[in-house]
A and B are shown apart, each in its own frame.
Chain A
């Protein structure tokens, strides 16, 4: 089975910061990767699919990129509503999650 390893597991940042979250696949997955945002007590929300395609209604400050087996979610300028936990997903496998907290 392909393993998805997210890093870091937690991250502190300030409003306005540029933030990057990484997800590494244990083997090539040809950009078959989605990113989700989850706020406490809420269901996950799809942000991007196919590594870099923005889901309808998601702000353009969210972007995704890929390089080999390494995938990145970038938030260009953090907003207060962006503090949440983020997960990557390939097929039926989710990353461990990255908790983004306010500094």
Chain B
């Protein structure tokens, strides 16, 4: 069964750091495009970051220089290192596999999500 399980969320003060993990089963993380998508309380979905199978990474502007996406091939796990956290980073963070073809992009499957709450 293809599955993603996120861990690592929690409450943190502004300026702090947190690391999220996303363990995959049923497929190989390193052979796929993997992404993080977040959802602030009561709000819509916002793409955060992606790591290509090649290892190339991209970020939404608001997290550039603060967040780092990575993977551990031996553990088949995706990570998101979040530094200098701000109140506006408060959200449920989902990891998702991104399928990319020459003309199509879609996110599937998704993990269950992990809540990051940034507050003093």
Contacts and interface: CB of A to CB of B under 8 A. Distances in A.
A3 interface: no
A38 B96 CA distance: 14
Interface residues of chain B: helix, strand, loop or mixed (majority): strand
Contacts of A32: 103-105
B47 A94 contact: yes
Given A43-B113, A44-B94, A91 B44 contact: no
A45 interface: yes
Contacts of B105: 32, 34, 89-92
Contacts of A50: 103-104
> 8 closest A-B pairs (Cβ-Cβ)?
A43-B110, A46-B108, A92-B47, A34-B106, A49-B106, A94-B45, A97-B44, A50-B104
Interface in A24-58: 30-32, 34, 36, 38, 42-46, 49-50, 55
B60 interface: yes
Contacts of A5: none
Interface of B: 44-47, 50, 60, 94, 99, 103-113
A96 interface: yes
Interface residues of A, number: 24
A87 interface: yes
Contacts of A76: none
A77 interface: no
A10 interface: no
A94 B106 contact: no
Interface in A49-103: 49-50, 55, 87, 89-97
Nearest to B4: A43
A42 to B, nearest CB: 8
Given A30-B103, A50-B103, A55 B108 contact: yes
Given A46-B107, A91-B105, 11 more contacts: A34-B106, A36-B45, A43-B113, A44-B107, A46-B108, A46-B109, A50-B103, A87-B45, A92-B47, A92-B105, A93-B47
